[in-house]
């Protein structure tokens, strides 16, 4: 896998396990750029995703882990396979489930229970829960980040939230769709969504025949009586016939708005 230098991690996944899977540039290419070039990148990711505290980061940076970066990449590939199988409605491979189970057992061995009162700053205000479970650096050593990712991934896989996991059709990143009507399509509207939007708008605009004396606008074919439709300049895009309609389009945004509106099922 190709690798790049220091990268600013974007947390588009909405969950640390999904954000970890998204630490490559694009999963749809055969040779994705890997944002985890070295173990230090993984530590930066862990801090950005909230999986490592600043103290953890300071202590991990003083260590020289052997083979941990490779194990992290293997875990990433394993989790991606499992989530992709789930998304396609298939059962994950038994070898993959056994591997994740073994990782989970390793995470459990590195887990400690801590009394919440020991951590709470004000003894006058009681903590909300009496105990806290934590994978500690003392027990996990170099594997701290990896085991915390394992625990987060398993927590997601055994929860209802798995039903909201989606894959971006453009880059293959995974994300949790927490929108009310579950309509989120892209990992981010700033990247893949914006590219797709401008690509569609551009293609339709380029295809539309020029209209004399009127600005371009689009009306879905089904909304126009056949006789009137026959007199209008038309363009086919994504197997939907559009006609230049009566509504004036004053901007690119308005153009995209109409295109989107008339493409939706009536």
Residues contributing to the site for Zn ion (CB under 5 A): 168, 170-171, 173, 187, 192
Q: Which is nearer to Zn ion, 79 or 187 (CB)?
A: 187
Q: Which is nearer to Zn ion, 102 or 195 (CB)?
A: 195
Minimum distance between the CB of residue 167 and Zn ion, rounded to whole angstroms? 9
With vertex at residue 235, the alpha carbon angle to CA 234 and CA 239, rounded to the nearest 5 degrees, is 125
CA gap 144, 142 in Å, rounded: 6
Minimum distance between the CB of residue 150 and Zn ion, rounded to whole angstroms? 25
Minimum distance between the CB of residue 168 and Zn ion, rounded to whole angstroms? 3
Q: Which is nearer to Zn ion, 105 or 195 (CB)?
A: 195
Minimum distance between the CB of residue 249 and Zn ion, rounded to whole angstroms? 28
Q: Which is nearer to Zn ion, 173 or 262 (CB)?
A: 173
CB 240: neighbour CB atoms within 10 A?
Answer: 14
What is the token pair recorded at 208? 């539309």
Q: Is 67 left (phi over 0), alpha (psi -120 to 50) or beta?
A: left
Q: Which is nearer to Zn ion, 21 or 147 (CB)?
A: 21
With vertex at residue 223, the alpha carbon angle to CA 221 and CA 227, rounded to the nearest 5 degrees, is 70
Minimum distance between the CB of residue 28 and Zn ion, rounded to whole angstroms? 9
CA gap 115, 263 in Å, rounded: 57
Q: Which of 98, 95, 133, 135 is nearest to 116 (CA)?
A: 133
């Amino acid at each position: 896998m190709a690798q790049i230098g220091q990268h600013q991690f974007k947390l588009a996944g909405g969950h640390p396990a999904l954000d970890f899977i998204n630490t490559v540039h694009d999963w749809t290419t055969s040779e994705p750029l890997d944002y985890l070039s070295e173990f230090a990148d993984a530590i930066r990711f862990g801090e950005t995703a909230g999986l490592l505290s600043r103290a953890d980061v300071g202590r991990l940076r003083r260590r020289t882990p052997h083979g941990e970066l490779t194990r992290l990449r293997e875990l990433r590939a394993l989790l991606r396979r499992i989530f992709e199988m789930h998304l396609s409605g298939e059962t994950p491979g038994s070898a993959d489930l056994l591997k994740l189970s073994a990782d989970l057992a390793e995470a459990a061995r590195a887990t400690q229970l801590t009394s919440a009162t020991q951590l709470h700053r004000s003894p006058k205000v009681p903590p909300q829960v009496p105990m806290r479970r934590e994978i500690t650096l003392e027990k996990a050593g170099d594997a701290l980040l990896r085991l915390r990712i394992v625990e987060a991934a398993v927590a997601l896989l055994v929860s209802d939230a798995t039903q909201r996991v989606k894959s971006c059709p453009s880059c293959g990143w995974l994300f949790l769709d927490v929108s009310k009507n579950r309509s989120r399509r892209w990992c981010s509207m700033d990247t893949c969504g914006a590219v797709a939007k401008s690509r569609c708008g551009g293609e339709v605009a380029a295809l539309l025949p020029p209209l004399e004396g009127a600005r371009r606008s689009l009306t879905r074919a089904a909304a126009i009586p056949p006789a009137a439709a026959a007199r209008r300049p038309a363009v086919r895009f994504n197997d939907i016939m559009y006609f230049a309609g009566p509504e004036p389009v004053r901007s690119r945004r308005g153009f995209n708005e109409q295109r989107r509106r008339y493409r939706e099922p009536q």
